[in-house]
Amino acid sequence: MSPIVDRKLEHINVCLEKDVEMHRNTSGFEDVWLVHRCLPELDLDDVKLETEFLGFKLRAPLMISAMTGGHPKAKIINEVLAEVVEEMGLAMAVGSQRAALIDGRLADTFSVARRKAPTAFLVANIGAAQLISDLSPSDIRRAVEMIDADALNVHLNPTHEFSQLRGEPRFRGVLQAIRKAAESIDVPVIAKETGCGVSREDAVRLVEEANVKAIEVAGAGGTSWCKVEVYRSQMHGEQLKARIADVFSEWGIPTALSVVEVKSSVDVPVIASGGIRSGLDCAKALAIGADLAGVALPALRAAVEGGEALRAMLTVFIEQLRAAMFLTGSRGLRELRRADVVVLGRVREWIQARGVDLDGYLKVRRTL
């Protein structure tokens, strides 16, 4: 098998077998508090989770973030993810399709997602670094066609490329490459990070200069790709590489902060992801302005157990979200966005240090 295919399998195995999550640099949701209402004036059953994202209807504001494809094991995972996503009316992205653009025999490990989820909101995925170096406009169209995608994720992963053995930490010209990719397809581009978050300065450039239609922040606090690569370097006896990367294992903008940075500076839909580990995290993310919540590693762990485990995991998230809405008196997502939120501690300090008027932002959010 090719080095890319081997790498894909190693990534899945390391994510399943090792502790690859951040613990010191948390997602920040522990500093976001929803104010309890003892008079919610609605029944739990009244709570409605339906939403629209980029013109597409979803039964709940939840997405399985980009993970995999390009390997037989990945095909089974995509199959399980897609089947459950279709059944529950959620959204899903596939992992980087580069391997299948190089070797067409791998296309099926991605297109299985569309076969199993004929009506779901499905997102194709390619890396920004590869857009610069080796993908043509026709490759980008092929990636979209491969899964009959409703949108294209362009993933931004400088921390990962830098820390990865034989990575490609070359991002010169990245904004122009994303703009060209957006021009070459007729579905929207969603720029996404991969666990280090998006700053407001970068959000503005992505929207204004690269024609990006939505942003998935994929902030810090969940899966750390640097940790994954430190483990891989150690496995391959590359101790020096591991030591260089290790200090960046908890690098990045925590997810809650990234949502506020992005949402306070650009007017595009935002997916909160990176360390979303419960339906309460989802509720907090939506309350501070996100349009969807995205989850990767917990869905992978469940999917390898099978469809039933994944269905259970997603049901727990959805019912926790519903409960948080009930307890804040929020009949729908619009009301959740108007719920009283208190932001304390590190998150408040960070936001203020970045010059964002947090209280002004939260007030404006309530009027949207």
Ligand X SMILES: Cc1cc2nc3c(=O)[nH]c(=O)nc-3n(C[C@H](O)[C@H](O)[C@H](O)COP(=O)(O)O)c2cc1C
Note whether 66 binds ligand X by CB under 6 A.
Answer: yes
Longest dimension (CA), the chain: 61
Residue number, 14 or 358, with CB nearest to ligand X: 14
Figure out which of the listed residues 71, 114, 116, 155 binds ligand X, where binding follows CB under 6 A. Answer: 155
Query: Binding to ligand X by residue 164, rule CB under 6 A?
Result: no
CB of 252 vs ligand X, minimal distance in Å: 10
At 301, which helix (H) or strand (E)? helix 297-303
- 11 touches ligand X by CB under 6 A: yes
Out of 26, 68, 199, 249, name the contact with ligand X by CB under 6 A: 68
Residues of the chain by 3-state class (helix, strand, coil), percent to 5: 50, 15, 35
Residue 317 CB, shortest distance to ligand X, in Å, is 11
Residue 33: Cβ-neighbour burial (10 angstroms; 0-12, 13-18, 19+): middle
Looking at 5, 12, 203, 318, which residue binds ligand X (CB under 6 A)? Answer: 12
CA distance 44 to 9: 42
**Is 163 an interacting residue with respect to ligand X (CB under 6 A)?**
no
Q: Is 98 in the site for ligand X (CB under 6 A)?
A: no
197 binds ligand X (CB under 6 A): no
C-alpha to C-alpha distances, 295 to 83, 101, 187, 328, nearest whole angstrom: 16, 25, 22, 23
Which of 129, 212, 218, 272 touches ligand X (CB under 6 A)? 218
Q: Which of 109, 164, 199, 273 binds ligand X (CB under 6 A)?
A: 273
H-helix or E-strand spanning residue 209: helix 200-210
Residue 368 CB neighbour total at 10 angstroms: 10
User: What is the Cα–Cα distance from 197 to 190, expressed in whole angstroms?
Assistant: 14
Question: Any contact of residue 116 with ligand X (CB under 6 A)?
Answer: no
Q: Site map for ligand X, 274-313, x if CB under 6 A?
A: xxx------------------xxx--x-------------
User: Which one of the spans 46-54, 187-195, 234-242, 243-251 is the region binding ligand X (CB under 6 A)?
Assistant: 187-195
With CB under 6 A as the rule, give the number of residues binding ligand X. 26
Burial of 79-94, coded b for 16+ CB within 10 Å and e otherwise, reads bbbbbbbbebbbbbbb
Contact criterion met (CB below 8 Å) for 193 and 222 = no
Residue 205 CB, shortest distance to ligand X, in Å, is 19
Cα 40 versus chain centre, distance? 31
Question: What six digits make up the tokens of 1?
Answer: 């098998």
Q: Which residues bind ligand X (CB under 6 A)?
A: 11-12, 15, 65-68, 95-96, 125, 153, 155, 192, 194-195, 218, 222-223, 273-276, 295-297, 300
